[in-house]
Structure 1
Amino acid sequence: MEKIVSSTESPNRCPMVDFVNLIAGKWAIPILYRLIIEDRPVRFGVLQRAASPITQKELTRHLRLFEQQSLVARTVYPEMPPRVEYEITELGKTLKPTLDSLAGWMTTHGSSIRDATTPAN
C-alpha cells in the first residue's frame, strides 16, 4: 500500500507556503505583532482597539487559531464580569525577528509601493 505524504512532509514543499498559511488573513500579523510588542498579558478590548477596525468575531477567530497553534496563551479569570487576557507564547516570540524585518522593509519601501500603485493625475 502506498503511503500518502501530507503537504507538510513533502521534501520539496516551500516553507513560505506554510508560513503564509500560518499568518493568513488581513489581521494575523497586526495581532501577533501587537502581542509581541506588548510582551505582557493584554485584554481583548485593548487588542481590538489596537487592530481597529477589526470586528470582535474576526479577532476572536484569529486568537483561537493562534491559541491552537501555541502562538498565543489565553487566560480566563473567574471574576464577574469574566476577564480574559492574551499573551504571546515563547514560540510566538520567535516570530519577532521575522516580523521586525517585515516592518523594517515596509518602512523603507512602503512609499515606493504606494507611489507605484497611485494613479497619476
Structure 2
Amino acid sequence: MATANQLQDEKKTYQIQFDEGSAAERTLLAQSLQDYIAEVDADIDIQTTRENEEAQDFGSTLVLVLGTPVAIIVAKAIADFLHRNSGAMITISENGKVVARGLDSADASKIAEAFSKRSSLVDGRP
C-alpha cells in the first residue's frame, strides 16, 4: 500500500491540445493557457511542444507534469480559461493516451474528471 508521501510524489504527464482553429490560433491559445496556469501556480512544470517539428511556430501543445493535489488546481484553471475564451475546445491526453476530448467551457466537471480518471475516455462532444 502506498504511503501519503508516495501518493503526493506520484506525478503524471498530461498533454493539452486545442482542437480547432489555425496553427497560429492554437499556438496563441496554448501560450495564453500556459501563462494563465503559471499565474495560478508558478511551480507547475509546463512546457509547449510543436505538433509538427518542421513548423516554425512556438508550439500548440502544452505538456504538464503534475502531482495529484495540483491536478485539481490545474483543472479549475483550465475550465476558467476556457470560459474566458469561448469557443476554444481541448483534448487532454495522459502519457500519450487520450483521456478527454472535445471539452469546452461548459465541461468544468469533465475537465476535473479527466485529470483524475484512471481508465475510460471523457467525451465532451454531444
Larger Rg: 1
Question: Which has a greater percent of helix?
Answer: 1
Asked if these proteins are the same fold (TM beyond 0.5), I'd say no
Question: Which has a greater percent of strand?
Answer: 2
**TM class by smaller structure:** under 0.3
Using the size of structure 1 for normalisation, the TM-score is 0.28
